Amino acid sequence: MSDRSQLIETGTPFQFDAERDAEFERLVKRYPTRESMILPALWLTQEQEGWISAEAIGYIADRIGTFASKVFEVATFYTMYNLHPVGEYHICVCRTLSCYLLGKQQIVDYLYQELGIKPGDVSKDGKFSLEEVECLGHCGTAPVVQVNGEFHEDMDVEKMKALLATLK
Amino acid sequence: MAEMVKLSVNGQEVEVEAGKNLIDAVGAVGIEIPHLCYHPALGADGNCRMCLVGIEDGRPPLVPACKTPAAEGMKVQLDAEHIKKIQHDVMELELINHPTDCPICDQAGECALQDYYQKYDGQESRMTVPQVQKSKKLDFGCGVIHDQERCILCARCVRFTRQITKTGELGIVNRTDDARVTTFPGRPLNNRYALNVVDLCPVGAMTSSDFRFKQRVWFLTRDKGICHGCSKGCNIFIDHHKEKYKDDIIYRYRPFVNEQVNGYFMCDEGRMTYKKENQDRLLVAKANNAESIISSAVDSLKNSISSSNKPVFLVSPNCSLEQMYAIKKLGEAKGATVSGFSDGYILEGDGDDFLIQDDKAANRAGLELLGVDTTKEAFESAMKEADLLVNFNNDLAKSYDAAALDELIGDCKFAMVATTQDALTEKAEIAIPAASYSEYSGSVINTDNILQMFNKAVVKNEPFDDIVNIVSRIGGDVNENSAAWAGMKASVPALKDVEPEQIPEQGLALNS
């Protein structure tokens, strides 16, 4: 449960690099309306910067020709969009029903104990960041943890410990 | 005439308009279906679930009334136990995180949540966990203050900025119980209709910085009126109140629904014109450049007109039709040139394609209908020879700067019948305070040639005369609105068949 609406402003204008620019123009042709580009454009931004700033949201809205408030809505709705810089290893623990019931809290508590970070934090060395996210769609193998996009299923504290060892 | 269908609500047969959604259709015959997110101007969104009803024809047990068109033979259930339960449960859900700060909330007294709580819920909270805390007192811009905790996420405001003003400043961010209405950083509300979100908000989440904490709504008297801010003539509620030992003042204007004129909304500038009714009013009469009682000023003006060889009467385009007619008749009787010159009221390019008009006068069409000349040439050439200018509340400062005004008036005697104290009344030798449009009854014709009547709303402790009465006191024949109408019906073809008592509430479209 978190308020994701406090966007970070970098103070510098954002724009796509040449590669993402070309990709944007390629993708926009796929859709009947330009507004459909909100999700892909946010992905492109995250690919490029690792996270999405207030400036980037404004840029995407203007580039697509829609309201910034709409892009803002979408970016804050999906927890897979990072709205602040993340660590080298970005750990996402699913917090939705199945994972909640099957012990996601023990994993989160363990990570706090081990790495000193709570959901939303980045470790001081910048190596790890932790986020509690909404349903990752693997309820059958809950609890689920995602590290840099890779799924680790049927998790528990022991398995998390082993996983961390491979990351350190 | 729309096609009608017969359907039953709780077993009672009613006849309603076909194809309309159930909320509006049965609402028109006085049966209320509770709803929070639906608004006739914004359409059905279906997010609040408060309007769920049962229809006995094999559809799912509950359907949202806002998205269900009325059809022949439909059996609508509103009082079945399972409907009452769902209404009760939806209310409980809405109130989980809603602060119980009604005693300090501006919406109290006109709040859908309060009303529905009494009607459909009425139980104590069963919540044992702390309520979700969100931001309060957020300045959204344009005088709109937002309280995220009071918000029930009906998205009326969001839909208004996206569908109506097409500026899209507002959005609902986050998800689940963290969802909230907000603006994007650096892009606050920035449109000329923003304050409508305050009226649209069914709860106290959107408040107006102008009205906040000024008055409890249950003290306000709501009278209908016509906004005189521009030539659209938006229908308004004049919300006013006379506190003990004080004078009757207006606290706010709110739009009143008139599909033919303004729909459901009004602009922010128009909304704020109520201030002019309260402030800077001309309160003291002047005769021979000195303060006097009103009757001496009236006598003085009467004598000045009688002794004048070439008087000019200048009419405001904001005067009512009756006032214009009375002034015109007096002008004809006294050999005066009557002019309605008021080019300064027109701000070229200021209007839009929604409600705001270039012409900031409520009744220019009235001047035209009565055949009052409004050209600059005619007015200025009459002024060259004039020895008396009687200005009936026309704000000349809009058309001339101070130097040009001095030159225009020259050593001509200058009298004002005015509502506002300003440089013009300072300049006038004779000044007579008059009632403003919230204080008299009359009619105006808007830019679309729609004739609308309005009635006196505010009664001041020391009321001033309507211009019609002042004109009669300075020698005019027309002494009241009915006399003006009798004259107008006889002399103006377009008004020949108009019965002033029978002008519909929506206004009467005149054939031009």
Domain locations in chain B as residue ranges: 4-95, 102-208, 285-509
Residue B57's pLDDT band (boundaries 50, 70, 90)?
A: confident
**Residue A2: pLDDT above 90?**
no
Number of CB pairs, chain A paired with chain B, less than 8 A apart: 62
Alpha carbon distance B415, B96 (integer Å)? 63
Contact (CB<8Å) B158/A69: yes
Please give the CATH number for the structural domain made up of B102-208.
Answer: 3.30.70.20
From the number of C-beta atoms within 10 Å of its C-beta (0-12, 13-18, 19+), residue B120 rates as middle
Give domain status of residue A122, yes or no.
yes
B261-279 confidence digits (pLDDT tens): 999 999 999 999 999 999 9
**Residue B21: pLDDT above 60?**
yes
Fold observed for domain B4-95: Ubiquitin-like (UB roll) (3.10.20)
Q: Is B122 on the interface with A (CB under 8 A)?
A: no
Which of residues A27, A45, A77 is at a domain's end? A77
Give domain status of residue A12, yes or no.
no
Contact (CB<8Å) B174/A54: no
Q: Which two tokens stand for residue B423?
A: 């440089």
In this predicted structure, what is the pLDDT of residue B1? 61
**Residue A168: pLDDT above 90?**
no
Q: Which two tokens stand for residue B378?
A: 């005619």
Q: Is A133 on the interface with B (CB under 8 A)?
A: no
Q: Is B320 on the interface with A (CB under 8 A)?
A: no
B238-262 confidence digits (pLDDT tens): 999 999 999 999 999 999 999 999 9
For residue A51, what is the domain's CATH number? 1.10.10.1590
In this predicted structure, what is the pLDDT of residue A1? 52
Give domain status of residue A120, yes or no.
yes
Q: Which two tokens stand for residue B190?
A: 């920035």
For A77, which residue in chain B has the nearest alpha carbon? B174
Into how many domains does chain A fold?
Answer: 2
Contact (CB<8Å) A5/B173: yes
Return the SS3 of B464: coil
Q: Is A14 on the interface with B (CB under 8 A)?
A: no
In this predicted structure, what is the pLDDT of residue B58? 78
Please give the CATH number for the structural domain made up of B285-509.
Answer: 3.40.50.740
Strand order in the sheet with B75-77: B12-17, B4-9, B75-77, B52-55, B63-64
For A66, which residue in chain B has the nearest alpha carbon? B168
Whether A67 and A113 map to the same domain: the answer is no
B193-207 confidence digits (pLDDT tens): 999 999 999 999 999
Cβ-Cβ contacts under 8 Å for B502 (sequence gap 6 or more): none
Residue B512's pLDDT band (boundaries 50, 70, 90)?
A: low
For B170, which residue in chain A has the nearest alpha carbon? A69
The interaxial angle of helices B321-334 and B481-491, nearest 10 deg, is 70
As for the ipTM of the complex, it is 0.91
Cβ burial A128-147 (10 Å sphere, 16+ → b, else e): bbbbbbeebebbeebbbbbb
Q: Which two tokens stand for residue B81?
A: 């136990």
Strand order in the sheet with B248-255: B221-226, B235-242, B248-255
Cβ-Cβ contacts under 8 Å for B400 (sequence gap 6 or more): B344, B408
Cβ-Cβ contacts under 8 Å for B72 (sequence gap 6 or more): B5, B6, B7, B18
Give domain status of residue A28, yes or no.
yes
Which of residues A77, A98, A114 is at a domain's end? A77
Contact (CB<8Å) A58/B184: yes
The amino acid present at A12, given as its one-letter code, is T
Cβ contacts of A58 on chain B, cutoff 8 Å: 184, 186-187
Contact (CB<8Å) B169/A77: no
Cβ contacts of A100 on chain B, cutoff 8 Å: none
Mean pLDDT of the residues in chain B: 95
A90-118 confidence digits (pLDDT tens): 999 999 999 999 999 999 999 999 999 99
Whether A104 and A154 map to the same domain: the answer is yes
A116-133 confidence digits (pLDDT tens): 999 999 999 999 999 999
Share of chain A above pLDDT 70, in %: 99
For residue A155, what is the domain's CATH number? 3.40.30.10
Q: Is B182 on the interface with A (CB under 8 A)?
A: yes
Cβ contacts of B167 on chain A, cutoff 8 Å: 67
Residue B469 near residue B316 (C-beta atoms within 8 A): no
B149-186 confidence digits (pLDDT tens): 999 999 999 999 999 999 999 999 999 889 999 999 99
Pick B174's closest partner by Cβ from A3, A57, A61: A3
Name residue, tokens 């020259």.
B410
- In terms of residue numbers, what domain contains A125? 89-167
**How far from B228 is each of B221, B345, B356, B446, CA to CA, in Å?**
20, 12, 12, 10
Residue B3 near residue B19 (C-beta atoms within 8 A): yes
Q: Is B203 on the interface with A (CB under 8 A)?
A: no
Give domain status of residue A1, yes or no.
no
Written in H, E and C, the secondary structure of B385-447 is HCCEEEEECCCHHHCCCHHHHHHHHCCCEEEEEECECCHHHHHCCEEEECCCCCCCCEEEECC
Give domain status of residue A10, yes or no.
no
Whether A43 and A63 map to the same domain: the answer is yes
Cβ contacts of A4 on chain B, cutoff 8 Å: 173-174, 178
Q: Is B185 on the interface with A (CB under 8 A)?
A: yes
**Cis, peptide link before residue A143, omega less than 30° from 0:** yes
Which of residues A31, A50, A77 is at a domain's end? A77
Cβ contacts of B182 on chain A, cutoff 8 Å: 5, 69, 72
Contact (CB<8Å) A57/B187: no
Give domain status of residue A57, yes or no.
yes
Closest-CA distance, B166 to chain A, in angstroms, reads: 9
Contact (CB<8Å) A67/B180: no
Q: Is B163 on the interface with A (CB under 8 A)?
A: no
Return the SS3 of B290: strand
Pick A72's closest partner by Cβ from B171, B175, B177: B171
Half-sphere exposure of B270 (CA within 13 A, CB side): 34
Pick A54's closest partner by Cβ from B170, B177, B185: B185
**How far from A130 is each of A98, A121, A151, B325, CA to CA, in Å?**
19, 6, 15, 77
Alpha carbon distance A151, A138 (integer Å)? 9
Mutant choice from A76, A96, A133 vs B, greatest count of B C-beta within 10 A: A76
Residue B470 near residue B417 (C-beta atoms within 8 A): yes
Pick A72's closest partner by Cβ from B177, B178, B184: B184
In this predicted structure, what is the pLDDT of residue B511? 75
Contact (CB<8Å) A69/B183: yes
B437-475 confidence digits (pLDDT tens): 999 999 999 999 999 999 999 999 999 999 999 999 999
